[in-house]
Amino acid sequence: MTVLVVINGECRELPAGATVDTVVQSLASAPEGRGVAVAVGGEIVPRAAWANTKLTEGARVEVVAAVQGG
């Protein structure tokens, strides 16, 4: 079973029971979640809650990763 969610404007199919942590770990631009902020439905999810915040069908997830540059 899967759920469809929108991550940074792109529809993705994730396994049922997927969490915010599942999403962060799947992104190559976010190694170990460092420098990352996540919002679900427009609400910031604290890092301590990532593993326990399950995503439901149609959830809108925004992941922002800080980048270093000059």
Q: What's the DSSP call for residue 47?
A: G
Biggest CA pair distance of the chain: 44
Would you state the pLDDT for residue 66? 81
Ramachandran region, residue 54 (left: φ > 0; alpha: ψ -120 to 50; beta: rest): beta
Domains of the chain: 2-65 (3.10.20.30)
pTM (two decimals): 0.86
Model confidence at 68: pLDDT above 80:
no
What confidence score (pLDDT) does residue 26 get? 84
d(CA 30, CA 63): 9
What pLDDT shows up at residue 65? 82
pLDDT digits (tens, 9 = 90+) for 4-44: 999 999 999 999 999 999 999 887 666 566 788 999 999 99
